[in-house]
Amino acid sequence: KPLAIVFDLDGVITDTAHLHFLAWRKVAGELGIVIDEVFNDSLKGISRGESLLRILRHGGKEGAFTRAEREQIAARKNALYVDSLRTLTPQAVLPGIRELLSALRSEQIKTGLASVSLNAPAILQALQLTPYFDFCADAARIQRSKPDPEIFLAACNGLHVSPQACIGIEDAQAGIDAINASGMRSVGIGSTLTGADLLLPTTEFLTWPRLSAFWQL
Ligand code: B16
Ligand code: MG
């Protein structure tokens, strides 16, 4: 069996993408930029600063702000987002995830988190999932965003396992590309991803028996 399973957060453990969207839509609107949920999809797995750059580019306002102004805009978005996280309870854990984490404990398979969100520790706390994770990669210490494998390699490193002995789970294309580049085996959640070693439609299909069968292929 695999030595460890490394999870993405947003879209795999809980659906915070909608809360990110509401905060970005408000901030973008204040700058005269309109974004919709389809555009929001392209921000999944992308860091806060890079997301803002993409929004500005989308609105044709790429060069309109200084670095300091952009930092203020990103901080405003984060304040709105953090405020909306107050609505997050253990009920927001996606279907099947708590059961899977618990099964991995029984199987003595290590668990890691590879989220680029600086709010990830607070989110795990709100979902009451912190005790299920052996190691969470620190997003603040990551230099290169997904699709670079850096954050997945940092998670394997922290778990003291080689990537070849691990499975990574992602819902974003940039994330699948990052897992594949790390040498781990990739599991994708969703129907639009390409290149995943195993593709499952929703987290409900993410069970230990399914992952175990996949590992033995
Ligand atoms: P924060 P993941 C990502 O989480 C989100 O998908 C992405 O939309 C967000 O911009 C990023 O975290 C940074 O989040 O602003 O909270 O630091 O998919 O890597 O778990
Ligand atoms: Mg994600």
Per-residue pLDDT of the chain (217 residues; tens, 9 = 90+): 999 999 999 999 999 999 999 999 999 999 999 999 999 988 998 999 999 999 999 999 999 999 999 999 999 999 999 999 999 999 999 999 999 999 999 999 999 999 999 999 999 999 999 999 999 999 999 999 899 999 999 999 999 999 999 999 999 999 999 999 999 999 999 999 999 999 999 999 999 999 999 999 8
User: With a 6 A CB cut-off, is 48 part of the ligand 1 pocket?
Assistant: yes
Whole-prediction pTM value? Answer: 0.94
Cα(142)–Cα(26) distance, rounded to whole angstroms?
27
Which among 81, 88, 117 is the best mutation to test ligand 1's pocket, defined by most ligand atoms within 8 Å of the CB? 117
Nearest Cα residue to 122 out of 141, 139, 101, 143: 139
User: Which residue has the least CA distance to atom 13 on ligand 1?
Assistant: 117
Q: Ligand 1 centroid to 162 CA: how many Å? A: 25
ipTM, 2 decimals? 0.94
Cα(74)–Cα(77) distance, rounded to whole angstroms?
5
